[in-house]
Structure 1
Amino acid sequence: MLHPFDDFPVHQSSAPLMHVFSDAPGVYDRYFYNGHDAQGSIFFAVAFGVYPNKQVMDAAFCVSLAGEQHSVRASRHCDRDRTNLEVGAISIHIVRPMLEHRIVVDNRFGVSADITWRATSALLEEPSFKHLENGRPQMDYTRMTQFGEWSGWIEVDGHRIELADAGPITGCRDRSWGVRNSARSANGPKKPPQFFWLWAPTTFDDEYTHAAVNDHANGRSWHRSGAVTSRVAHDSTSTESVLNESAVDRCTAVHIEPKWASGTRWLASATVTLERWRAEPIVVTYTPLLRFFMRGIGYTHPEWGHGEWKGEFAETRDNFVIADANPGDPTMIHLQNLCRVESNGKVGTGVFEHLVIGPHEPSGFASVLDGAA
């Protein structure tokens, strides 16, 4: 199956670009974005994924306003052209690769948006995520993260928010591709679930920090990475500058110490220490201001999970009140916390994401969903 992109010399094998490298059902290609002000008055996120072996393309947009999350979701059959980034009301437009993306949400359910993200940092290529479960590949994917600023507007039920009037709206995006959750969909003996994930992209006036950790149940990490990069004006970026690897200071060691709210797996506070080659460590503290539940864009959602077949086309809207969230609900344990952050006298904003399922000895978790002491 050929594609117009086969005219470019970018092949990595003898196969045409549209040929999937594996028959695993967990093969995917995803866009993720978030944006927020410094106080948590507005927080929004986008997830847009392609699952070629399932022939599914799906998308979700969610905005948190005044204590409520409003989500629009869509899914469609995608059997051929995976470069048409439109699913129902939601579309992504790559205006300038790695520099400027535009996201449009048509007003079909009372939620609409026309927002543009512009890069203000170099690209951070995270170390490859490779994880085996019972000897079977569970994860094998690559992800890049990049910081930026947002412009445009969002409207919910007739209430329009001009992002320029809401103060600077910052955030980050990531692009990931490969295989996820492959072992879970395979036949054979199962084991109790265990997954420990922390991710902390952080914004200061002059620089960005990034940290990520995956742990086994005993606390030993199978993935751990961190980086620091400068903050630059979006009108000063170029493809060459954002691809400049020397602009990224990769950390020699990363330590993340979360404290969990009693009886829950929700964050109370955290400290991240980034050790660097020939430089003083950076210590960042995180104090949550707002909880954003990732089920709003499909993660852990009981009906609209990523890559689920919904037929030729389906779309919907749903809302929920944040104060009604139950910490014991398995669909409410994957969060991004908007945080006030401090480091050596500097104050900034950060997002601290966590998903913790099953045992984790350093946290004191012994079963699938028990809470902190």
Structure 2
Amino acid sequence: MLTKGDDYPIHQTPEPIAYAGSDRNFYDRYFFNAYAPDGAAFLAVAYGVYPALNVADAHIAIVKDGKERCLHASRILGLERMDLHVGPISIDILEPLMRLKVSVAKTEGIAGEITFEGRAFPIEEPRFVRRNGPRLFMDYTRLTQNVRVSGWVEVDGERIELSGWVGTRDRSWGIRPVGAPDPQPTPGGTFAQFFWQWSPLNFRDRSVYYHINADADGKPWNTRAVILEDGAGPDGGFHTEAATMAMELIPGTKHARSGVLTIPMDQGAATVKIEPVATFLMRGIGYGGDWRHGGLKGELAVAREDLDCENFDVADMGNLHIQAISKATLSVPGQPDQRGVGVFEQLILGPYRPLGL
């Protein structure tokens, strides 16, 4: 079947672009977030296509005053990957790798027009490859880009102007578990441990990025830290795989009370102190819950969901994956400190001995 994508030089197999190889877990996703300079309000958007499942879905969530108001949408893809809309949520690529726009037609009290403009050329994170026993669990690439944000969102009649907001967008594609889980377990392939942190931070004239996947003993199997000045091109910035994050957990939880990122540099170590101020539950944009990515909901389904992101069950598996909206202080030897804002994403499943888990 030929589709609009076949007229673009983006094929990845000898077949038409509608087909993405043989792995049913292939996905292609957009993610966006944005936040007020003081962290008092936050929004996130996810948009994914799952070619082998023939599903597309989209989500938007707005966090304010301890409440997370979410709009979910899912549709049958119909093999056409170039129509970037699901129900009321759509994406326009205004300038590839630099400016994208998310539109939400008013539905269930939520609407918006949000433009994300890159502060520098996106960074490419190291390719994520991980096996779970004999099966390929992850194999994907992600680009990440901090952004300046403009436009507005409306929630239940309250219009929020986004002037002065900043945030992050990413694009990832490849293989991850999506849709319904496999009904037949694989001997030797039991998924028992996962440690993940991701912290893109916005400062006055630069961005800091950090992520880590580690095993139960704290040994990283994928990690990178980047300090990137505004306007930098594809080869810009300082990159290292030697950064470390020290964190203090909130008692009785797997979520951070605070964190200190240390980035070794030629002139001495830079540090970033991270102070969470609010919580965004990732289930609000399809990371788990009833609206998990790639789930089949029929020809078209749209629904609103409201979550309490201040008083929630910390032991509920669906609430483990969060982004903590955070204030941050960057200290680089020989330079004045800079204060900024960003997120501290966290997901800890199973044991992680460096934190006593």
| Range into which the TM-score falls when normalised by the shorter chain | over 0.9
> 1:87 & 1:4 partners in 2: Cα distance?
17
Contact in 1 for aligned 2:25/2:177 (Cα 8 Å) = yes
Q: Write the letter of the residue equivalent to 1:175.
A: R
Q: CA deviation at 1:9?
A: 4.0
Report SS of the residue matched to 1:176. Answer: strand
> 1:279 & 1:18 partners in 2: Cα distance?
50
2:346 to 350, 354, 373: 354
Distance 1:131 1:118, change over 3 A: same
Q: Write the letter of the residue equivalent to 1:335.
A: I
Structure 1 residues 1-16: aligned runs within 5 Å:
1-16=1-16
Contact in 2 for aligned 1:110/1:157 (Cα 8 Å) = yes
Deviations 1:141-171 (A, max 9, x none): 000000111111111111111222xxx1000
Q: Write the letter of the residue equivalent to 2:99.
A: E
Which is worse superposed, 171-180 or 339-348? 339-348
In the alignment, which residue of structure 1 is the partner of 2:169? Answer: 173
Q: Write the letter of the residue equivalent to 1:107.
A: K
Deviations 1:312-358 (A, max 9, x none): 11110011222221111111111111111112222111210001111
Contact in 2 for aligned 1:122/1:229 (Cα 8 Å) = no
Contact in 2 for aligned 1:153/1:162 (Cα 8 Å) = yes
Q: CA deviation at 1:178?
A: 0.1
> 1:288 & 1:362 partners in 2: Cα distance?
21
Residue 95 in structure 1 maps to residue 94 in structure 2:
yes
Contact in 1 for aligned 2:139/2:175 (Cα 8 Å) = yes
Structure 1 residues 225-240: aligned runs within 5 Å:
225-232=224-231
In the alignment, which residue of structure 2 is the partner of 1:236? Answer: none
In the alignment, which residue of structure 2 is the partner of 1:259? Answer: 248
2:264 to 226, 250, 275: 275
Deviations 1:82-102 (A, max 9, x none): 110110111111111111111
In the alignment, which residue of structure 2 is the partner of 1:299? Answer: 287
Deviations 1:21-48 (A, max 9, x none): 22x2211000000000122221000010
Which is worse superposed, 317-326 or 186-195? 186-195
Distance 1:192 1:138, change over 3 A: closer
Distance 1:9 1:88, change over 3 A: closer
Structure 1 runs, 4 residues or longer, greater than 4 Å off: none
> 1:118 & 1:188 partners in 2: Cα distance?
43
Contact in 1 for aligned 2:4/2:82 (Cα 8 Å) = no
Distance 1:75 1:210, change over 3 A: same
Q: Write the letter of the residue equivalent to 1:88.
A: G
In the alignment, which residue of structure 2 is the partner of 1:69? Answer: 68
Q: Write the letter of the residue equivalent to 2:297.
A: K
> 1:106 & 1:54 partners in 2: Cα distance?
26
- Report the number of matched residues: 349
> 2:63 & 2:252 partners in 1: Cα distance?
25
Report SS of the residue matched to 1:73. Answer: strand
CA RMSD, 1 decimal: 1.8
> 1:43 & 1:152 partners in 2: Cα distance?
14
Q: CA deviation at 1:279?
A: 4.3
> 1:178 & 1:300 partners in 2: Cα distance?
19
Contact in 2 for aligned 1:115/1:154 (Cα 8 Å) = yes
Distance 1:21 1:269, change over 3 A: same
Contact in 1 for aligned 2:97/2:121 (Cα 8 Å) = no
> 1:208 & 1:357 partners in 2: Cα distance?
28
In the alignment, which residue of structure 1 is the partner of 2:18? Answer: 18
Q: CA deviation at 1:107?
A: 1.0
Identity %: 35
Q: CA deviation at 1:134?
A: 1.1
